[in-house]
Amino acid sequence: MAKQHSIALRPLLRYFGLLVPVVVGLPSVFGVLFFLTHPRELMNNWPGALMASCFAAIGGFFSWRWLRLGAEIRESEIVMRGLLRTIRIPRTGFKQFSKEWYQDHSHEHGSMNSYSYLFMDSDGKKIATMPSSLEICLDFSVFEGQLVKIAADNRKNSGHSLTRDLQHLPVDQWTLDDIEKYEQDAS
């Protein structure tokens, strides 16, 4: 049986972070209630009612997403609920989990290094990217270690390594390492 693990926000951070969408959405909820109880005002000021409904919906959505922020490793899948999106990956669906650094360019601030956590298959193709909002969760480093361990187990159980398959790759896309590997295999 596979070991289950979950992470979530620290309780204090969860409730203080919830204040932001509540401050945006709660006055709009009162505005919507006002327009529902005063239909004559709704007819006279429908753009205000529409704006109040929009801000109430945005505040409600982000409140709900903030409360549910976290991740779980289940028996059959890994579920990661970020602030804007939810990612579901089968537990055996990835062979490598790594932190990839890249350089961002901005005209105002020059360049800076950023990173993302990637799930990759046996061919080295990206399957999914972990939502970056999960990094503020309690015990994120333990969760990251669990994902690395699951990826290692997946590689071990599949019997495939992360090397590229040269039989199906055109010669013009071979790298120097591919050529050296081919020569070693040929001799």
pLDDT tens profile 18-40: 888 888 788 898 989 998 999 88
Tens digits of residue pLDDT in 45-69? 989 899 999 998 998 898 899 989 9
Residue 6 pLDDT > 80, yes or no? yes
Q: pTM of the entire structure?
A: 0.71
pLDDT band at 161 (very low <50, low <70, confident <90, very high): very low
> Which amino acid, 144?
E
Instruction: Return the H-helix or E-strand segment holding 8.
Output: strand 5-8
In this prediction, residue 88 carries a pLDDT of 94
Instruction: Return the H-helix or E-strand segment holding 10.
Output: none
Strands (E), 11-161: 70-73, 77-81, 86-90, 96-106, 110-120, 126-129
Q: Which residues of 107-116 are buried (b: 16+ CB within 10 A; e: fewer)?
A: eeeeeeeeee
Between the CA of residue 159 and those of 122, 149, 154, 162, what are the distances in Å?
Answer: 10, 16, 9, 10
pLDDT band at 187 (very low <50, low <70, confident <90, very high): low
Q: Are 74 and 4 in contact (CB under 8 A)?
A: yes
Give the max Cα distance, the chain: 88
Mean pLDDT, the chain, rounded, equals 84
Q: Which of 57, 47, 50 is closest to 24 using CA atoms?
A: 57
In this prediction, residue 166 carries a pLDDT of 64
In this prediction, residue 162 carries a pLDDT of 44
Question: What integer is the mean pLDDT of 128-156?
Answer: 90
